[in-house]
Amino acid sequence: MSPRTEKWDRRFLALAEFIAQWSKDPSTKTGAVIVDPENRIVSVGYNGFPQGVADLPERLNNRELKYKLTVHCERNALIFAHESVKGCRLYTWPFMSCSPCASMMIQAGIIEAVAPFSDNPRWAEDFKLATEQFEEAGVKLKLFT
């Protein structure tokens, strides 16, 4: 197993930040990177509409509709993985996963979630629930300030 250091974590967070820029969401661009225990990239994802669904400005600028159509970066990374992600780490940018994504990560076998710390009041309740889920399921959560 390759040694895991904070340097690796920061590299993968930087990669998640880079991948987030591929999103067409005008307000919140999110990215995810799934890494195996050997520090090899297994999959990546960013938030966006499903394949074949048009990224029309009127959809992207309507928050309620956009939320209904958007596939989160974590979900895309899990879907795009061509191998099992059991035992892997999942890095997200610019904040930790929401509770529905946490549920999917747990079910898929992710053992650690790494993200920048965020105290955005809009997501506080969801971050709290996701944190509780991770704790109950034995998934390590590492937040960077």
Q: Give the catalytic positions in this structure.
A: 74
Positive or negative, the CA dihedral 30, 118, 8, 42 is negative
Q: Which residues pair with 51 in a beta bridge?
A: none
Residue 123's H or E segment, with its range, is none
SS3 call for 30: coil
Torsion of CA 134, 47, 25, 21, to 10 degrees: 100
Is there a contact between 72 and 47 (Cβ–Cβ < 8 Å)? yes
**Helix or strand or coil: residue 31?**
strand
d(CA 69, CA 3): 39
